[in-house]
Amino acid sequence: MSASFAMERPWQRWLIRIGVFLAMAILCLPGLWVVLTAFRPNIEVLARPPVWIPQDPTLANFYGIFGLLPDQQQGLPVAAYVRNSLVISLTSTAVAVLIGMMGGYAFARYRFRGKAGLFVAFMLSRTVPGVALSLPLFTLWSRIGILDTAFGLILVYLAINVPFTIWLTDGFFRQIPADLSEAAQIDGCTRWQAFWRIEFPLARSGLASAAIFAFLTSWNEYALASQLTRTTASKTMPVGLMDFTAQFTVDWSGMSAMAVLIIVPALALTFMVQKHLIAGLTFGGVK
Amino acid sequence: MSLLSSPRAAPYLLLLPAILVILAVVAVPLGVSLWSSFTPYNLTRPATLYTFIGWRNYQRLMQEPDFWWAFGRTLVFVTVTLNLELVLGLGLALLVNRITAGQRVLRTIMMFPMMFSPILVGFQFKYIFNDAVGLVNNALFDLGLIREPIPWLVEGTLANIAVMTAEVWMSTSVFAILLLAGLLALPKEPMEAAKVDGCGPVQVFRHITLPFLMPFIFIAMTIRSLDVARAYDMVRIMTNGGPAGRTELLWTLMARIGYQNSQMGMANAMGYVSILTSILFTVYFYRRLVAARRYMEGVE
């Protein structure tokens, strides 16, 4: 496509480059600002005139949130938040991908009664805003006794992620020609073997992107977690961020350090698999 | 095993876990909340869950100016941000599409905001728009444009602008990446034919690129309209509906009534209004998508 624009003049090319640079700067700056703040001593955070580049970078904010500074009585239960976040996100992602893959396969490969209706029902379940769901879930979960447990939250994230996973994997399985597994079945494989040997490996990049989306959704979710968790037994990192706010003030340095703890795993994971992510968005869903 | 191997039962068995999860976590709770929206259910008095009062919650809601303000503000919020995100995302996709070297790196940077938790975006922008230590005021001071700090989150109109800025920052990437996918799939022949016929870049964009992108635009709209309610987290952190309710959206009002005033019945009635609004938006964009796809198939 760009070949057909080879006639652009140099000044046009520079204009595009400057535009792209500015756009990228705007996209990165807010995040970068918070990351820089995480490494600033408190004096610099509140300095006036502002200190743009940290002059005296420090890890004190990170020690601080874990309660490791010498003059500190005790820190916040950040370690528990990290643990809860990991357990809840990883478990719900793994199970959501498994259940979603089964569903996606059913939609892609079988014709059955009520297919269209079920598909729409799954999608509509996704339109319910988290806050609207948190009120009834709160009532119900407290009656069953799974309020403030990791299990309660895992179950909720499962329900949020399954419809999207079904949608993505359905798209991927449909791209794989049905003849492939039929040929394998003629050669003596069972349907189950044909699935594992042929269709599963081909759909892997779709499953990877579904997994990333599910993980990021549960890792970053706040509205439901903030109502369904109460203590260190199940509070996740996004909810833990609220610990840094008092009624009128915010502990910006502590908050920023915690923010880095949340951002870094998400960023690292996404960059590692970004090729799958883009493929997942463009092929699985769109076509 | 005989059930599993029966081809009739297979799809239902495969879908069973998914159906169970959705029933347990979405359908049953929504049933409970539908019932409770017809009761004066109050968290502090559990027995009120069994008193049926018919449409009274809904009637009171309809007479509540706070509710209508929040409702109107939500519609404006969704419309303004979705359109801004679309225009900016389209611009960004067109720009990145013109860059040949290092496009993969650019695409990755472009997706940066998508990885941020909405609550984190809320804190980030609360910090950035802070009147004393925020990035925006600091920059304006250093450039000599202002002498007094601008109270971004304290004044009603400015707070709305700040909240919308955060939402647009967070979600423009989703549009950009989906539209870029569309641009990459754009067939070359019609564009070259148009150029041979003497069409200018604007005409090519207007008559070839844009119609081709329409399905992608509606997909992005459908996906985004599904989760604009994520904005709850952000608004909750940045202003919590304040100052004096000037940035109150349906979702923040609902959470306030439900958890702070414990009026669950009332809040659930509001929840139903907002769910129906969400579904209407989604269905609207989905139908436009189907129409656009059908149009494209007609062209090809």
DSSP-derived secondary structure for A177-224: -HHHHHHHHHTT--HHHHIIIIIHHHTHHHHHHHHHHHHHHHHH--HH
Q: How confident is the model at residue A8 (pLDDT cuts 50, 70, 90)?
A: low
A265 in Cβ contact with B116 (< 8 Å): no
ipTM of the complex as predicted: 0.83
pLDDT at A7 over 60: no
Query: Average pLDDT over chain A, rounded to whole?
Result: 84
Q: B7: which DSSP letter?
A: T
- Name the CATH superfamily housing domain A78-282: MetI-like (1.10.3720.10)
Residues of chain B with C-beta less than 8 angstroms from the C-beta of A20: 95-96, 99, 106
Taking only the tens place, the pLDDT of each residue in A276-286 is 766 666 554 44
pLDDT at A71 over 80: no
A-proximal residues of B, 133-162, CB under 8 Å: 133, 135, 138, 141-142
| Average pLDDT of span B120-135 | 86
B34 in Cβ contact with A134 (< 8 Å): no
A-B C-beta contacts closer than 8 Å: 265
The identity of residue B74, as a single letter, is T
Q: CA of B143 to nearest chain A CA: how many angstroms apart?
A: 12
Q: Does B118 touch chain A (CB under 8 A)?
A: yes
Taking only the tens place, the pLDDT of each residue in A112-143 is 988 888 988 888 887 787 777 888 898 899 88
The helix/strand count (H/E) of chain B reads as 15, 0
Q: CA of A176 to nearest chain B CA: how many angstroms apart?
A: 18
Closest-CA residue of chain A to B49: A139
- Which is higher by pLDDT, A85 or B148? A85
B110 and A24 in contact by Cβ < 8 A?
yes
pTM for the model:
0.85
Strand partners, B197: none
Residues of chain B with C-beta less than 8 angstroms from the C-beta of A250: 123, 126-127
The identity of residue A186, as a single letter, is I
Determine the Cα–Cα distance for residues A75 and A64; give it in Å rounded to an integer: 7
Closest-CA residue of chain A to B255: A131
pLDDT at B85 over 90: yes
Tokens 């059908």 belong to which residue?
A: B294
pLDDT at A3 over 60: no
B-proximal residues of A, 81-140, CB under 8 Å: 99-100, 102-103, 105-107, 109-110, 112, 115, 118, 121-137, 139-140
Tokens 């702070």 belong to which residue?
A: B260
pLDDT at B23 over 50: yes
Check residue B216 and give its pLDDT.
84
A59 in Cβ contact with B154 (< 8 Å): no
Interface test with A, best of B117, B219, B280 (most A CBs within 10 A): B117
Check residue B155 and give its pLDDT.
87
Q: CA of B5 to nearest chain A CA: how many angstroms apart?
A: 9
> Three-state DSSP class for A78?
helix
Check residue A102 and give its pLDDT.
94
- Which is higher by pLDDT, A154 or B227? A154
| Average pLDDT of span B105-119 | 85
Taking only the tens place, the pLDDT of each residue in A169-225 is 888 888 888 888 788 888 888 878 888 888 888 888 788 888 988 999 899 998 899
Taking only the tens place, the pLDDT of each residue in B236-255 is 888 888 788 888 888 888 88
pLDDT at A1 over 50: no
Q: Does A32 touch chain B (CB under 8 A)?
A: no
Q: CA of B190 to nearest chain A CA: how many angstroms apart?
A: 12
- For chain A, give the percent of residues with pLDDT over 90: 29
Q: CA of A20 to nearest chain B CA: how many angstroms apart?
A: 6
- For chain B, give the percent of residues with pLDDT over 90: 19
Q: Which residues, 6+ apart, have CB-to-CB distance to B29 below 8 Å?
A: A133, A136, A137, A139, A140
Where in chain A are the domains?
A: 10-58, 78-282
Q: On the CB side of A190, how many CA atoms lie within 13 Å of its CA?
A: 6
Lowest mean pLDDT among A109-123, B91-105, B228-242: B228-242
Determine the Cα–Cα distance for residues B106 and A111; give it in Å rounded to an integer: 42
Q: How confident is the model at residue A287 (pLDDT cuts 50, 70, 90)?
A: very low
A-proximal residues of B, 237-276, CB under 8 Å: 251, 254-255, 258-259, 264, 267-268, 271-272, 274-275
pLDDT at A68 over 90: no
